[in-house]
Amino acid sequence: MTRRDWPLWEVFVRSRRGLSHVHAGSLHAPDAEMALRNARDLYTRRSEGVSLWVVPASAIVASSPDERDSFFDPAGDKIYRHPTFYDVPEGVDHL
C-alpha cells in the first residue's frame, strides 16, 4: 500500500481581539476543514486564541535565505526610518 501523507498547513492564531494573527506552527490535515479543527486541538487547547487561520503551506511564498543580504541588509543603517524620535504618550500599549 502506498502511503500518501496529508498536506502541510500553516496555523495562525489571534490571541485576543485587537491583536493580529501570529504564526503558531504547522500541522497535517487532509483538507481545510480538518486543518482548522486540528489547529483548534493542537494550538488553542490552553485557551491561546480567539480566532484561527489555516493556510496551505504550499500557498506561502517565502523569501530565500540566499537573498537575505539584498533583501534585508540595506535597511540596517537607515535609522531615520524608525519612529524613535517621537515621545509615546503614556497609556499607549500597542503602537
Partner 1 sequence: MNPMFPYVLGLADDALVSAQRMGWWISRAPELEEDVALANIGLDQLGQARTLLAYAGELEGAGRGEDDLAYWRDERDFRNVCLVERPQTDFGVAMARLLIFATWQSELYAALSGADDATLAGVAGKAVKEVRYHVDHAARWVVRLGDGTDESHLRMQAALEAEWPWLDELFAPVDQAVVDPAGLRGPVVSRIAAVVGEATLELPQTQPAVARGREGIHTEHLGYLLAEMQHLTRSHPGAAW
Q: Let me know the angle formed at the C-alpha of 24 by 53 and 61, rounded to the nearest 5 degrees.
A: 70
**55, three cell numbers:** 493556510
If one asks whether residue 51 binds partner 1 (CB under 8 A), the answer comes out as: no
Describe the chain by its helix, strand, coil percentages, rounded to 5: 30, 20, 50
Residue number with CB closer to partner 1 (5 or 87): 5
If one asks whether residue 2 binds partner 1 (CB under 8 A), the answer comes out as: no
Residue number with CB closer to partner 1 (40 or 76): 40
Residues near partner 1 (CB under 8 A): 6, 27-30, 33-34, 37-38, 41-42, 45
